[in-house]
């Protein structure tokens, strides 16, 4: 029973700390791109430079 209480207290504290950190981030920060977008960006860069992408 005591372990369950400690686990719940830890989870609540972690939640509150996370929410406080999220609230402090300014709204002007752009979200990170998804991993699939990196390939698309690299292909576009290669095309602009006139280089065929290596496979």
| 48 has pLDDT over 80 | no
Q: Say if residues 55 and 43 touch (Cβ distance below 8 Å).
A: no
SS3 at position 55? coil
Q: How much is the pLDDT for 53?
A: 59
The tens digit of pLDDT for each residue in 8-22 reads 999 999 999 999 998
**Region 20-38 average pLDDT:** 75
- Residue range 16-34: mean pLDDT, rounded: 82
Mean pLDDT on 15-39? 79
> Across all residues in the chain, what is the average pLDDT?
78
């Amino acid at each position: 029973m005591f372990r369950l209480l400690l686990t719940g207290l830890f989870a609540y504290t972690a939640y509150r700390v996370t929410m406080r950190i999220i609230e402090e981030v300014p709204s002007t920060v752009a979200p990170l791109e998804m991993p699939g977008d990196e390939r698309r960006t690299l292909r576009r860069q290669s095309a602009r430079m006139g280089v065929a992408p290596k496979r």
